[in-house]
Structure 1
Amino acid sequence: MAKPPAANQGKFPTIAFVNLATVPLGIDLRRLVSALDKQLQRDFVPIWGYPATLYVTDKPKPNEWQIVFLDDSDAADAMGYHNLTKDGQPVSKVFVKTTIAAKQKVSVTASHELLEMLIDPGAQMWAQASNGRFYAYEVCDAVEEEEYVIDGVAVSDFVYPSFFESWHEPMSTRFDHLQKVSRPFQTLQNGYQVVSNGAVAREVFSSGPKEINFQEVEVRTLHRSEYRKEMMPGGTPSTPGGAAGSNAATAHAALLEHAGQFLTTLAAMRDPLPGGRDPFDLMARRKPGGVRDPLPGGDPFEL
């Protein structure tokens, strides 16, 4: 049985890279991890401030996070790799056969998974845009397939914190490493994002070809995006319009909506019992000639 999550424990993580794939990665794993370490230290940490120690092993320690290379999601399921290690640590999976079949690079996928796991290891953080919708706090999805090279190794573009800050005007600051994004929450042509209204979640795309490729070629079983959708109160919607519906789409969302209305009304109310500055100063609120304290004394609880 997996132990409860125990990520971080007050220190930055050590991430073990474990290759369990039966097919070639197309790159030496140590060379890949060296390039990812340079990306992390040189490009990512100065922006996000979240370092980690990376190394290759076939026997990760119980307190280490893991990035595991597997053939596909069937292999992951058979070997018991899901969202946490058996010791309750975050784990990301790179499906080698699946990645190659989709004509993508294993190194870019590994970079993508590493950076996203560092910022949101539990795949549970969301950012609210000015339109009221919630966008998954994933730092590579919106810029997916945008890449650059470090020491001959292709790695993934990533967004900056400003990407999730809706108050920025277009072109007013830098939103991603390669400067392809021009405004908050923008989805590039080959990217996608998971968007929610608080009840259901779905993917959104900026191009038809990407959506078709996503649905027909790219296998997302056991992916972070699927986990996010499963965790929503309303589950995965069956229609594309799910994320744009009313916030009262489910009982859970309706409860939040009515609670918000109640608090708004409460905040607008005037004090129905004017009196002293302290609303709990009942003696100051007492009308002249009203009921007197039946138990006179200093402390009413001093029996």
Structure 2
Amino acid sequence: MFQISIVNRTLTISDLELHRVVRAVNRQVADDFAPYWGFGGRLRVEGPAGESLDAQAARELRGDAILYLLDSATSADALGYHARTLRGIPYGFVYLDLCAKLGDAWSATLSHEALELIADPQCNLLVQGPHPRGPALPQVYHYFEVCDAVQSHLYDIDGVTVSNFVLPSYFAPDDASEGRRDFSGTNLRSFDVNPGGYIGFFDPNLAGGGGAATFFADARSEQRYAIKSRAASGQRDCPFGRVMRRAGTQATPQATPGTEAQMG
């Protein structure tokens, strides 16, 4: 079973509270995520090793991946949002100040990052599908993300706020209008995006290798993305994983009809 080590390096989250959140996310993975996707994982709280973290050494790792909780995204220790170390170990961060600025519950961010770390090694990174800007355009390759399209839709488990996620049917042709494409049933359609969310894609039809792009559901989702980009602007050598590798690509805000977003 894929295991993620959770390391608390904040000054504000108690270990008791962290264990409560981790139990809820573990229940989400086992009871909600795994039955649909056919694979899962488990989060395990580990104690910090040393006064500062070393993501390349990952001394706290007791599994296959590692997630750090930090008070600030400006920490000199911060290497990325979620990516891999030089040793090939997947890792990620939950920054409390960035969560507050985005209006997100840190537990939802932890849930989001954990689900994507679990999904990454199991799935194709690109899935062919319709162009987000219109069905008349040639098909593109969508990045395989399980939370981004519904990132503003949340739900509770045992009083803990966790992230909604898409189902495998999201990456299939939308030939059944009554079909469910995400766990919370928000009327999301295949390869579409809910209010507050965004999707990344690669257009192989563009010459010169400039085909990477991001499609935003609305101005709110574009603003959230910009906040994350600014948070990483002082760390050009260590950008925020896949999210920031796509920064600077052309994106088109467009309102998408559907269920109203539940903001964290």
TM range, smaller chain: 0.7 to 0.9
Question: Does 1:164 find its partner at 2:171?
Answer: yes
The separation in 1 between residues aligned to 2:69 and 2:77, in whole angstroms, is 14
Question: Does 1:226 find its partner at 2:243?
Answer: yes
The separation in 1 between residues aligned to 2:27 and 2:251, in whole angstroms, is 39
> Does the 8 A contact of 2:151 with 2:196 survive in 1?
yes
Amino acid at match of 1:182: L
The separation in 1 between residues aligned to 2:157 and 2:216, in whole angstroms, is 28
Q: Deviations over 1:138-167 (max 9, x none)?
A: 0000001201110000101000011111x2
Q: Deviations over 1:265-301 (max 9, x none)?
A: xxxxxxxxxxxxxxxxxxxxxxxxxxxxxxxxxxxxx
> Does the 8 A contact of 1:191 with 1:210 survive in 2?
yes
Evaluate the alpha carbon distance shift between residue 212 and residue 83 of structure 1 in structure 2; reply closer, same or farther with a 3 A threshold. Answer: closer
1:146 corresponds to which of 149, 153, 166: 153
Give the aligned partner of residue 254 of structure 1. none
> Does the 8 A contact of 1:171 with 1:182 survive in 2?
no
Amino acid at match of 1:93: F
Classify the secondary structure of the residue corresponding to 1:83.
strand
Report deviation, 1:18. 0.4
Give the aligned partner of residue 206 of structure 1. 217
Amino acid at match of 1:223: F
Alignment map for 1:274-285 (pairs within 5 Å)? none
The separation in 1 between residues aligned to 2:180 and 2:88, in whole angstroms, is 36
Question: Does 1:113 find its partner at 2:102?
Answer: no
Give the aligned partner of residue 78 of structure 1. 77
The separation in 2 between residues aligned to 1:181 and 1:122, in whole angstroms, is 26
The separation in 1 between residues aligned to 2:197 and 2:116, in whole angstroms, is 14
> Does the 8 A contact of 1:220 with 1:226 survive in 2?
no
Give the aligned partner of residue 18 of structure 2. 29
Amino acid at match of 2:38: G
Classify the secondary structure of the residue corresponding to 1:28.
helix
The separation in 1 between residues aligned to 2:245 and 2:111, in whole angstroms, is 20
> Does the 8 A contact of 1:25 with 1:96 survive in 2?
no
Classify the secondary structure of the residue corresponding to 1:134.
strand
> Does the 8 A contact of 2:200 with 2:215 survive in 1?
yes
Amino acid at match of 1:29: L
Evaluate the alpha carbon distance shift between residue 94 and residue 204 of structure 1 in structure 2; reply closer, same or farther with a 3 A threshold. Answer: same
The separation in 2 between residues aligned to 1:117 and 1:175, in whole angstroms, is 20
The separation in 1 between residues aligned to 2:224 and 2:16, in whole angstroms, is 25
TM-score normalised over the length of structure 2: 0.74
Give the aligned partner of residue 192 of structure 2. 186
The separation in 1 between residues aligned to 2:189 and 2:16, in whole angstroms, is 35
Amino acid at match of 1:21: T
Evaluate the alpha carbon distance shift between residue 100 and residue 180 of structure 1 in structure 2; reply closer, same or farther with a 3 A threshold. Answer: same
Amino acid at match of 1:46: P
Structure 1 outlier segments of 4+, above 6 Å: none
Query: What RMSD over aligned residues (CA atoms) do the two structures have, in Å?
Result: 2.8
Instruction: Give 1 or 2 for the bigger CA radius of gyration.
Output: 1
Unaligned stretches of 5+ residues in structure 2: 50-59, 132-138, 233-238, 253-264
The separation in 2 between residues aligned to 1:26 and 1:17, in whole angstroms, is 11
Evaluate the alpha carbon distance shift between residue 73 and residue 216 of structure 1 in structure 2; reply closer, same or farther with a 3 A threshold. Answer: closer
Give the aligned partner of residue 91 of structure 2. 91
Evaluate the alpha carbon distance shift between residue 25 and residue 214 of structure 1 in structure 2; reply closer, same or farther with a 3 A threshold. Answer: farther
The separation in 2 between residues aligned to 1:97 and 1:30, in whole angstroms, is 20
Out of 102-111 and 87-96, give the one that drifted further: 87-96
The separation in 2 between residues aligned to 1:18 and 1:114, in whole angstroms, is 13
Which structure has the higher relative contact order (CA within 8 Å, separation 6+)?
2
> Does the 8 A contact of 2:5 with 2:63 survive in 1?
no
Higher share of residues assigned strand: 2
Percentage identity across paired residues of the two chains: 27
Evaluate the alpha carbon distance shift between residue 25 and residue 177 of structure 1 in structure 2; reply closer, same or farther with a 3 A threshold. Answer: farther
Evaluate the alpha carbon distance shift between residue 169 and residue 220 of structure 1 in structure 2; reply closer, same or farther with a 3 A threshold. Answer: farther
Question: Does 1:195 find its partner at 2:194?
Answer: no
Classify the secondary structure of the residue corresponding to 2:83.
coil
Give the aligned partner of residue 261 of structure 2. none
Give the aligned partner of residue 174 of structure 1. 180
Question: Does 1:102 find its partner at 2:102?
Answer: yes
Report deviation, 1:190. 0.9
Q: Deviations over 1:211-246 (max 9, x none)?
A: 23432477563434435538xxxxx43x447xxxxx
Classify the secondary structure of the residue corresponding to 1:17.
strand
Unaligned stretches of 5+ residues in structure 1: 1-11, 231-235, 242-303
The separation in 2 between residues aligned to 1:173 and 1:240, in whole angstroms, is 28
Amino acid at match of 1:148: Y
The separation in 2 between residues aligned to 1:154 and 1:27, in whole angstroms, is 16
